[in-house]
Amino acid sequence: MVKDQEFLKSKASYCLDLAKKMGATDASVTVGHSISETVNFRNKSLEASDRSDGLALSIETYLGKRRSSISSSNLLDENIKTLVEKCFETTKITPEDEFNSLPDKNLLAKQISSLNLYDETRFENDKKIKYLKDLEESASSNNQIINTESSFTENKSNFILANSDGFCDGYKTSSFAASCVAVAKDENSMERDYEFSSKRHLSDIKQATDLGNKAAKQTIRKLSPKKIGSEKINIIFDKRISKGMLSVFASAISASAIARGTSFLRDKIDQQVFADSINVIDKPDIIKGMGSQNFDSEGVNSNTLQLIENGILKNYLVDTYNGKKLNLKSNGRSGGTTNLYFEKGNISYQDLIKKDSRSLYITETIGHGSNIVTGDYSVGATGFLVEDGEFKYPVNEITIAGNFKDMFKNIILANDLEFEYSVNSPTMMIEGMTVAGK
Amino acid sequence: MSNFFNKSDLTRQDADKIVSETLNNCDDGELYLEESKSESILLDDNKIKNSNYSSDLGFGFRAISNEVVAYSYSNEISKDSLKNSSENLKSTLKSIKGTYNHEIPKSNKKFYEDINPIEQKTLDSKLEVLNKVNDFLRKKDGSVKQVTASFAGEQKSIEIIRSGGEALTDVRPLIRFNVSVMLEKNGRKETGVYGIGGRQSYDDYLKNDNWKNVCEEAFRIASVNLESKPAPAGEMKVVLGPGWPAILIHEAIGHGLEGDFNRKKTSAFHDLMGEKVASEGVTIVDDGTIDNRRGSLTIDDEGTPTERTVLIENGILKNFMQDRHNARLMNTRSTGSGRRENYRHIVLPRMRNTMMLSGNQTQDEMIKSVDKGIFAVSFGGGQVDITSGKFVFNCTEAYEINNGKIGSPIKGATLIGDGPSILKEVSMVGNDMMLDPGIGTCGKAGQGVPVGVAQPSILIDKMTVGGTKL
pLDDT per residue, tens digit, chain A (438 aa), is 889 999 999 999 999 999 999 999 999 999 999 999 999 999 999 999 998 888 999 999 999 999 999 999 888 888 899 999 989 998 998 889 999 999 999 999 998 889 999 999 999 999 999 999 999 999 999 999 999 999 999 999 999 999 999 999 999 999 999 999 999 999 999 999 999 999 999 999 999 999 999 999 999 999 999 999 999 999 999 999 999 999 999 999 999 999 999 999 999 999 999 999 999 999 999 999 999 999 999 999 999 999 999 999 999 999 999 999 999 999 999 999 999 999 999 999 999 999 999 999 999 999 988 999 999 999 999 999 999 999 999 999 999 999 999 999 999 999 999 999 999 999 999 998 999 999
Asked, for residue B60, whether it belongs to a domain, the answer is no
Asked, for residue B311, whether it belongs to a domain, the answer is yes
Report angle CA A187, A191, A196 to the nearest 5 degrees. Answer: 145
Q: Name the residue of chain B whose CA is nearest to A321's CA.
A: B49
Separation of alpha carbons A364 and B386, rounded Å:
14
CATH number of the domain encompassing residue B194? 3.30.2290.10
Q: Exposed, middle or buried, A105 (CB in 10 Å: 0-12/13-18/19+)?
A: exposed
Q: What is the DSSP string of B249-298?
A: HIIIIIGGGBHHHHHTT-STTTT-TTSB-S-TT--EEEES-STT-TT--S
Query: Considering only CA atoms, which of B288, B330, B291 is closest in space to residue B309?
Result: B288
Contact B84, B11 (CB under 8 A): no
Domain end marker among B177, B203, B226: B226
B380, pLDDT greater than 90: no
Reported as type and span, the H/E element at residue B351 is none
Residues in chain A within 8 Å Cβ distance of B384? 366
Contact B62, B69 (CB under 8 A): yes
Query: Is residue B261 located within the same domain as residue B214?
Result: no
Separation of alpha carbons A82 and A80, rounded Å:
5
- Give the per-residue pLDDT at A79: 85
Asked, for residue B457, whether it belongs to a domain, the answer is yes
The C-alpha of A192 sits at a distance from chain B's nearest C-alpha, in angstroms, of 6
Q: What is the pLDDT of residues B100-139, one digit of tens each?
A: 999 999 999 999 999 999 988 888 889 999 999 999 999 9
- Give the per-residue pLDDT at A201: 98
Interface test mutation site (partner A, options B75, B86, B190, B421, max chain A beta carbons within 10 A): B75
Query: Is residue B222 located within the same domain as residue B311?
Result: no
Asked, for residue B303, whether it belongs to a domain, the answer is yes
Asked, for residue B390, whether it belongs to a domain, the answer is yes
> Chain-wide mean pLDDT for chain B?
94
Alpha carbon distances (Å) from A182 to A38, A140, B254, B256: 19, 8, 22, 17
CB contact under 8 A, A400 and B466: yes
Annotated domain spans of chain A: 5-220, 226-438
- Give the per-residue pLDDT at B72: 94
CB contact under 8 A, A382 and B390: yes
The C-alpha of B107 sits at a distance from chain A's nearest C-alpha, in angstroms, of 31
CB contact under 8 A, A73 and B56: yes
Considering its fold, how many domains does chain B have in total? 2
φ, ψ at A420 (rounded to 5°):
-100, -40
What separation, in Å, do the N-terminal and C-terminal C-alpha atoms of chain A show?
A: 56
Q: Name the residue of chain A whose CA is nearest to B413's CA.
A: A378
Interface test mutation site (partner B, options A364, A434, A435, A438, max chain B beta carbons within 10 A): A434
Query: Is residue B213 located within the same domain as residue B323?
Result: no
B7, pLDDT greater than 80: no
Q: Which residues pair with B236 in a beta bridge?
A: B463
Reported as type and span, the H/E element at residue A134 is helix A125-139
Query: Considering only CA atoms, which of B181, B173, B122 is closest in space to residue B150?
Result: B181
The alpha carbon dihedral of B445, B446, B451, B457 has a sign of positive
The DSSP symbol for A332 reads S
Range B78-93 average pLDDT: 91
Q: Which amino acid is at B221?
A: I
Separation of alpha carbons B321 and B256, rounded Å:
10
Residue A267: count of CB within 10 angstroms of its CB: 10
Reported as type and span, the H/E element at residue B54 is strand B47-65
Structure pTM? 0.90
Alpha carbon distances (Å) from A411 to A276, A306, A312, A349, B429: 10, 18, 14, 14, 45
CB contact under 8 A, A399 and B412: no
- Give the per-residue pLDDT at B382: 86
Separation of alpha carbons B322 and B333, rounded Å:
7
* Residues near A291 by beta carbon (within 8 Å), at least 6 away in sequence: A284, A337, A338, A339, A340, A421, A422, A423
Query: Considering only CA atoms, which of B217, B287, B218 is closest in space to residue B451?
Result: B287
Separation of alpha carbons B241 and B459, rounded Å:
9
B207, pLDDT greater than 80: no
Interface test mutation site (partner B, options A125, A127, A227, A376, max chain B beta carbons within 10 A): A376
Separation of alpha carbons B97 and B90, rounded Å:
11
- Give the per-residue pLDDT at A208: 97
Asked, for residue B6, whether it belongs to a domain, the answer is no
Q: Name the residue of chain A whose CA is nearest to B263's CA.
A: A147
CB contact under 8 A, A49 and B53: no
Query: Is residue B278 located within the same domain as residue B360?
Result: yes
The alpha carbon dihedral of A367, B428, B441, B298 has a sign of positive
Contact B28, B19 (CB under 8 A): no
Domain end marker among B185, B206, B226: B226
Query: Is residue B279 located within the same domain as residue B210?
Result: no
Using CB atoms, which residue from B58, B71, B233 is nearest to A49?
A: B71
Cβ-Cβ contacts under 8 Å between A and B: the total is 240
Interface test mutation site (partner A, options B28, B46, B51, B263, max chain A beta carbons within 10 A): B51
Query: Is residue B155 located within the same domain as residue B273?
Result: no
CB contact under 8 A, B233 and A47: no
Determine the CATH number of domain A5-220: 3.30.2290.10
Query: Is residue B439 located within the same domain as residue B303?
Result: yes
Q: Name the residue of chain A whose CA is nearest to B346's CA.
A: A50
What separation, in Å, do the N-terminal and C-terminal C-alpha atoms of chain B show?
A: 59
Residue ranges making up the domain that contains B202: 117-159+168-226
Query: Is residue B257 located within the same domain as residue B196?
Result: no
CB contact under 8 A, A434 and B44: no
- SS3 state of residue A19: helix
Using CB atoms, which residue from B55, B70, B74 is nearest to A53?
A: B74
Separation of alpha carbons B357 and B430, rounded Å:
9
- Give the per-residue pLDDT at A75: 85
Alpha carbon distances (Å) from A34 to A155, A163, B201, B219, B239: 7, 21, 35, 43, 49
- Give the per-residue pLDDT at B470: 85
CB contact under 8 A, B392 and A379: yes
Asked, for residue B265, whether it belongs to a domain, the answer is yes
Contact A144, A223 (CB under 8 A): yes
- Give the per-residue pLDDT at A77: 85
- Give the per-residue pLDDT at A224: 97
B178 CA to centre of own chain? 16
* Residues near A58 by beta carbon (within 8 Å), at least 6 away in sequence: A29, A30, A69, A70, A71, A72
Separation of alpha carbons A224 and A185, rounded Å:
9
B55, pLDDT greater than 80: yes
Asked, for residue B46, whether it belongs to a domain, the answer is no
Domain end marker among B181, B207, B226: B226
CB contact under 8 A, B265 and A368: no
